[in-house]
């Protein structure tokens, strides 16, 4: 064995020992973990004393001093958890002037869940990893309802402005924010790495439902993984049916930027699948560059276009667009400006639009006009929650085409309903399947998200939002 190989083996063994010691330390800490119960009058003091494995259980009520997650260090297997009631009357964090409602700084292995956040129309963010934070990693933001963060397009429901990695953003409902999620710094200098964004509903934002910013580099000296890593965006609802900005302020529902052009992180990838995109009167539903796999999604935009793969701050590189079902007024998949050295594929999509494909067609796509969709799909012109159904009519859905290299991607052989698909299938739905279990509505996809997750039914989550945002809610 060479000296370099020996050195590498020793380094690898040392890393394994270090990781095992961290996990063991976390398990030992969790053996002494506490559940601390607090209310609006004493929760601020309780925050300061949290240790790995502790649970801070907030009572129902109105909390007016925000939530400062500053310097809180959980451990692998023993996170610090801050939670509201899983059911019944909520713990409500109210926006306050000149301070973000949940402020995160220099913290790791923290879970924040089962809370209601109301920005009260103030120029503040909901959850924010602050710009002066040295790091915020392995943070879980789960089962929050966020309203009242729409003072301006620059106000964000969930934002990371410091170096962030290992985040899980799951099961949240965001209504009427300036921007739903904005992850990373505007100049590309603050990366968001290795995240999991799933089962969220983001409705009626002024700007993006979700943007993940481009990355100029990867500061691995602070513990950020050098890559290759994958950020997964799955089973979300992205809708800009109401309240979207126009002109120079118009934004897609979802935009993902490029990874570092070279060095650590250059081989990272986005896997974006199983999402429902609905309406955008001024921009495409999805825009991407860099390394992107976009598959198994359902997209409806009767006011504009669906997918734009194009340069933003860099160029599209390794891009795969397959097994999506698209109904759009204008463009279905528009592909331009890619770096051919990395390889791209657009295949096995079902696209019904005035211009179904532009710039690339690798075969096996079923294309037609928006009006022709009714010959193939059950109910492509209905409204969400009122009959919209883009699954196949009986007897259609299979198209011959070239083989796809997709087995490196998560759930790539499952359809929009998480059912197995055949090699010859086209579009987001497997043909001949029963009635969809997740109707196309503006509510969460039902899914088990852990033993403590509340409101697993998407319709119930939608009812909560309607009640919370109504004038009678008494905020």
pLDDT confidence of residue 7: 35
pLDDT confidence of residue 13: 40
DSSP letters along 130-178, please? Answer: -TT-S-EEEEEEES-EEES--SSTT-EEEEE-S-EES-EEES-EEES-S
pLDDT confidence of residue 396: 82
DSSP letters along 208-241, please? Answer: -SEEE---S---GGGT---S--EEEEES-EEE-S
Domains of the chain by residue range: 3-473
**Peptide bond connecting 228 to the previous residue in cis, omega within 30 degrees of 0:** yes
Question: What does the block give as tokens for 469?
Answer: 């945002």
pLDDT confidence of residue 472: 39
pLDDT confidence of residue 33: 87
Helix, strand, coil percentages in the chain from 3-state DSSP, rounded to 5: 15, 35, 55
pLDDT confidence of residue 25: 52
Q: Which residue is listed with tokens 């204008």?
A: 330
pLDDT confidence of residue 36: 98
* Residues 123, 110: Cα–Cα separation, whole Å: 26
- Cβ proximity of 354 and 370 under 8 Å: yes
Residue 288 — φ and ψ, nearest 5°?
A: -150, 160
C-alpha distances in angstroms, 273 versus 76, 295, 299, 370?
A: 28, 5, 11, 22
Closest CA to 119 of 157, 152, 149: 149
Helical segments of 415-474, H only: 458-469
* Residues 35, 55: Cα–Cα separation, whole Å: 5
User: What percentage of the chain has pLDDT greater than the value 70?
Assistant: 87
Answer CATH for 3-473 from 3.40.30, 2.160.20, 3.40.50, 1.10.3470: 2.160.20
- Report residues of the chain scoring pLDDT below 50: 1-23, 449-475
Other CB atoms within 10 A of residue 24 CB = 13
* Residues 159, 253: Cα–Cα separation, whole Å: 16
Question: What does the block give as tokens for 463?
Answer: 């009812």
Q: What's the burial of 434, exposed, middle or buried (CB within 10 Å: 0-12/13-18/19+)?
A: exposed
- Cβ proximity of 181 and 141 under 8 Å: no
C-alpha distances in angstroms, 5 versus 13, 18, 425?
A: 12, 20, 46
pLDDT confidence of residue 447: 61
First to last CA, the chain: 69
Q: Report helix, strand or coil for 451.
A: coil
């Amino acid at each position: 064995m060479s000296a370099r190989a020996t050195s590498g083996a020793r380094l690898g063994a040392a890393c394994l020992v270090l990781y095992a010691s961290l996990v063991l330390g976390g398990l030992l800490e969790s053996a002494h973990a506490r559940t601390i119960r607090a209310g609006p009058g004493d929760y601020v003091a309780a925050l300061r004393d949290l240790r790995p494995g502790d649970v801070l259980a907030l009572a129902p009520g109105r909390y007016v001093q925000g939530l400062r997650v500053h310097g809180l260090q959980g451990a692998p297997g023993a996170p610090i958890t801050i939670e509201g009631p899983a059911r019944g009357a909520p713990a409500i964090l109210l926006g306050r002037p000149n301070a973000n409602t949940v402020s995160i700084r220099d913290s790791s292995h923290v879970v924040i869940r089962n809370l209601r956040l109301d920005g009260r129309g103030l120029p503040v963010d909901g959850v924010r990893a602050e710009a002066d934070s040295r790091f915020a990693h392995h943070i879980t933001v789960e089962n929050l309802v966020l309203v009242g963060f729409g003072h301006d397009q620059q106000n964000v429901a969930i934002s990371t402005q410091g170096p962030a990695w290992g985040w899980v953003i799951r099961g949240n409902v965001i209504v009427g924010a300036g921007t739903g999620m904005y992850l990373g710094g505007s100049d590309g200098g603050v990366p968001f790495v290795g995240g999991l964004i799933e089962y969220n509903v983001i409705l009626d934002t002024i700007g993006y439902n979700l943007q993940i910013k481009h990355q100029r580099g990867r500061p691995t000296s602070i513990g950020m993984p050098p890559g290759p890593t994958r950020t997964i965006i799955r089973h979300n609802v992205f809708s800009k049916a109401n309240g979207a900005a126009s002109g120079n302020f118009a934004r897609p529902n979802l935009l993902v930027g490029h990874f570092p052009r070279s060095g650590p992180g250059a081989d990272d990838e986005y896997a974006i699948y199983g999402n429902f995109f609905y309406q955008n009167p001024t921009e495409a539903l999805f825009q991407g560059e860099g390394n992107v796999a976009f598959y198994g999604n359902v997209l409806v935009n009767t006011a504009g276009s669906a997918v734009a793969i194009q340069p933003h701050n860099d160029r599209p590189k390794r891009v795969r667009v397959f097994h999506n079902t698209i109904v759009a007024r204008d463009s279905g998949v528009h592909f331009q400006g890619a770096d051919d050295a990395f390889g791209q594929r657009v295949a096995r999509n079902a696209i019904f639009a005035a211009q179904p494909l532009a710039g690339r067609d690798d075969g096996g796509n079923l294309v037609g006009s928006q009006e022709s969709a009714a010959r193939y799909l059950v109910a492509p012109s209905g409204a969400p929650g009122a009959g919209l159904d883009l699954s196949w009519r009986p007897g259609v859905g299979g198209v011959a085409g070239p083989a796809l290299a997709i087995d490196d991607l998560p759930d790539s052989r499952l359809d929009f309903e998480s059912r197995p698909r055949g090699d010859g299938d086209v579009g987001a739905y497997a043909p001949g399947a029963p009635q969809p279990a997740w109707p196309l509505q503006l509510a969460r996809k039902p899914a088990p998200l852990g033993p403590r997750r509340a409101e697993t039914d998407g319709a119930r989550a939608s009812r909560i939002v309607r009640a919370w945002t109504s004038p009678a809610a008494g905020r």
